[in-house]
Amino acid sequence: MMQNFETDEGRWLAVRARDRAADGRFIVAVRTTGVYCRPHCPSRMPLRANVRFYDDAAQAERDGFRACKRCAPAGSPRHPAAEAVARACRRIESAPESPRLAELAAAAGLSPFHFHRVFKKLTGVTPKQYAAAHRARRLRTNLRTAGRITDAVYDAGFATASRAYEAAPETLGMTAGAYRAGAPGERIAFTTAPSSLGLVGVAATERGVCAIEFVASADAFERALRERFPRAEMRTGDPALAQTVTMVVRRIERPDATLDLPLDVRGTAFQLRVWEALRRIPPGATASYSEVAAAIGAPHAVRAVGSACGANRIALAIPCHRVRREDGGEGGYRWGIERKRALARGERDAKTEAGDSERLPRPPGAQHLPTSRRSNASANARRSASTLRGPTVPKR
Ligand SMILES: [Zn+2]
């Protein structure tokens, strides 16, 4: 039978069968471990829900996955310019203003024409489109928390405020002013459910889950949501959200259960980077504030990392309970140290029962925080960290 390696379904069948014919045709990445493999890798079979497929290793690396040490998928065919393009992406992300094409091409050691073509081939967009998308995302997140709109605009790398306003309807779906105030008519569903760690509140916008919190009562949860989203329309009794809260409670009671929810995360660009890094700490593992700071390429922003962890409103899905103080102390937790302790203990026990994952070799003392920069650009990021003008630390 002719195997179909083009669809996720066909790819998953090949992974289940450890089909060697699939070698070189695609890459399988496992979200929970942050590692990507060849399809026939002999390591432990991942859960379907945790798997993402990529056409090649470079794409998996761009999304922050690391190559498996066992099946060495990075040796599979890979575009020679992949690393240069990944570096260019990081550079665009960290520059206060979009670097010029000629500058990016020179850094990659390619002619502008060749660089433009290869960038588009590997990322699907031009460098200019990539920069515009990144700026729009930063603007969207900065607006929520910045004290003044112009601050947010400049933080996002727009040269003038008027240019940002011109871009706003397209990138935000509304004007910058309206977005800052919270969209009028935005609808937020919320619900609560009991768990062994107390009452859990879950809220979601139409885009995804915006809060998972341990709360004193349903009323208290609603009050807190109204404070955060003053103009939103609150409603209860959403059947989809009832399913979501069931998943969250199951995850609390069974630490090996997966929790893969669409999130509507709102914070500054810096907070988003911290929260993304937290999501890469595997269950049962911990990282210190300074490890997280190093992972996002801001090794000196340890205190800001601590604040960002404390500002997280989406418990579990953004696992701030996996962060520790430098001295190994537990550090704080918005929802109480007892809960942090219980969550960490549950994950550790679940991991011990399952046996250590073969896909995550972790020598003692090694940095155990897989990061989006590690494989391609970690050395590069470290070298240039002091010269970057970012990261954007939230303004007070
Ligand atoms: Zn492997």
* Poorest-pLDDT segment among 39-53, 83-97, 106-120: 83-97
- C-alpha 4/C-alpha 17 separation (Å) is 13
Per-residue pLDDT, 153: 55
Residue (of 139, 195, 372, 135) closest to 273 by Cα position: 372
Is residue 293's pLDDT more than 50?
Answer: yes
Mark whether 71 is an active-site residue.
no
Residue 202 is given by DSSP the state E
Q: What is the mean pLDDT of residues 16-24?
A: 81
What pLDDT digit, counting tens, does each position of 227-268 carry?
888 778 899 988 889 999 999 999 999 888 878 788 887 776
Helix (H, G, I), strand (E, B) or coil at 204: strand
Taking every pair of Cα atoms in the chain, the longest distance, rounded to a whole number of angstroms, is 62
Mean pLDDT over each residue of the chain, to the nearest integer: 76
What is the Å distance from ligand 1's center to 84 Cα?
24
What is the Å distance from ligand 1's center to 52 Cα?
14
| 205 C-beta neighbours (distance < 10 Å), count | 18
What is the Å distance from ligand 1's center to 105 Cα?
33
Could you check whether the bond before residue 391 is cis, i.e. omega within 30 degrees of 0? yes
Residue 318 is given by DSSP the state S
In the block, tokens 């660009």 appear at 269
CATH number of the structural domain 82-181: 1.10.10.60
What is the Å distance from ligand 1's center to 67 Cα?
7
| Type of residue at 52 | R
* Poorest-pLDDT segment among 135-144, 283-292, 339-348: 135-144
Q: What is the mean pLDDT of residues 144-150?
A: 55
Per-residue pLDDT, 141: 67
Per-residue pLDDT, 211: 94
Per-residue confidence at 145, pLDDT binned at 50, 70, 90?
low
Is residue 118's pLDDT more than 70?
Answer: yes
What is the Å distance from ligand 1's center to 380 Cα?
26
What is the Å distance from ligand 1's center to 379 Cα?
24
Per-residue pLDDT, 105: 94
| CB-count exposure of residue 233 (10 Å: 0-12, 13-18, 19+) | exposed
The better pLDDT of the pair 12, 40 is held by 12
With beta carbons less than 8 A apart as the criterion, state whether 385 and 297 touch.
yes
Give CA 5 to chain center in angstroms: 27
Token pair listed for 68: 């498996």
The better pLDDT of the pair 345, 373 is held by 345
What is the Å distance from ligand 1's center to 153 Cα?
43
Around ion ligand 1, which residues have CB less than 5 A away? 37, 41, 43, 68, 70-71
Which CATH architecture best describes the domain 8-75?
A: 3-Layer(aba) Sandwich (3.40)
Q: Where are the alpha helices (DSSP H) in 3-125?
A: 8-16, 57-62, 82-94, 101-108, 112-123
Q: Backbone phi, then psi, for 76, in 5-degree steps?
A: -75, 165
Mark whether 320 is an active-site residue.
yes
What are all long-range contacts of 346-353, with beta carbons under 8 Å and residues at least 24 apart?
Answer: 346/255, 347/255, 347/283, 347/284, 347/322, 348/284, 349/255, 350/254, 350/255, 350/256, 350/283, 350/284, 351/283, 351/284, 352/284, 353/256
Q: Backbone phi, then psi, for 202, in 5-degree steps?
A: -130, 135
What is the Å distance from ligand 1's center to 9 Cα?
20
From 41, 89, 210, 320, active-site residue: 320
Sign of the C-alpha dihedral, residues 96, 100, 103, 106? positive
CATH number of the structural domain 269-384: 1.10.10.10
Per-residue confidence at 206, pLDDT binned at 50, 70, 90?
confident
The 10 Å CB-count burial string (b at 16+, else e) for 361-372 is: eeeeeeebbbbb
The superfamily CATH assigns to domain 187-252 is Methylated DNA-protein cysteine methyltransferase domain (3.30.160.70)
Q: How many residues are listed for the chain in this entry?
A: 396
Q: What is the pTM of this model?
A: 0.49
Q: What is the 3-state secondary structure (H, E, C) of 153-193?
A: HHHCCCCCHHHHHHHHHHHHCCCHHHHHHCCCCCEEEEEEE
Q: What is the mean pLDDT of residues 31-44?
A: 88
Same fold, 82-181 and 269-384: yes
What pLDDT digit, counting tens, does each position of 155-202 carry?
555 555 445 444 443 344 334 444 444 556 678 999 999 999 999 999
What pLDDT digit, counting tens, does each position of 45-79 carry?
899 999 999 988 888 888 888 888 788 776 544 56
The 10 Å CB-count burial string (b at 16+, else e) for 120-152 is: eebbeeebeebbbebbbebbbbbbebbeebeeb
Hey, where are the domains in the chain? 8-75, 82-181, 187-252, 269-384
Q: What is the mean pLDDT of residues 325-346?
A: 88
